[in-house]
Amino acid sequence: MATQEPVTFREHYEPLKKTFEVRAFPSEDGLSVHFRTVVDDEDAQRADHLLELTNLLSSDLLESIDVLRADLEAARDADDDSAELAAATESLDRMESLVNYSIRLASERPTEREADGAREPPTE
């Protein structure tokens, strides 16, 4: 405050688990302090990597699910709807649901997931 030069710094506040950019502007009349929540670069990079990985895996998995589904349909036509084919179809439906759920989670920001409360995968 003696030099009356503004300062800017980042500070992590553990109770809120957030990082803030703090700007302090001293003057003869007092001190003005502004806080702004920032996303850590490392967290942003991690989120981008997670989204990229999820997109890659989900694309391959969904393509494999489509191939298996077509094979099951062909087997069902030849085998007259056995219980094993029905169970396999249910498993594919579950896999597809989990892949789509993973895509949705990876594309959301952490605050959206917390607000949504969507932590558990679907139970279809």
pLDDT in tens, 29-78: 788 899 888 876 677 777 777 778 888 888 888 888 888 888 888 888 88
CA distance 92 to 43: 33
- Same domain, yes or no, for 32 and 62? no
Would the pTM count as exceeding 0.85? no
Largest alpha-carbon pair distance within the chain? 88
- In this prediction, residue 15 carries a pLDDT of 94
84 lies in a domain?
A: yes
- The domain tally of the chain equals 2
- Same domain, yes or no, for 75 and 24? no
46 lies in a domain?
A: yes
- In this prediction, residue 119 carries a pLDDT of 53
Burial class of residue 103 in the structure, from the number of CB atoms within 10 Å of its CB (0-12 exposed, 13-18 middle, 19+ buried) = middle
Structural domain range at position 81: 41-116
121 lies in a domain?
A: no
1 lies in a domain?
A: no
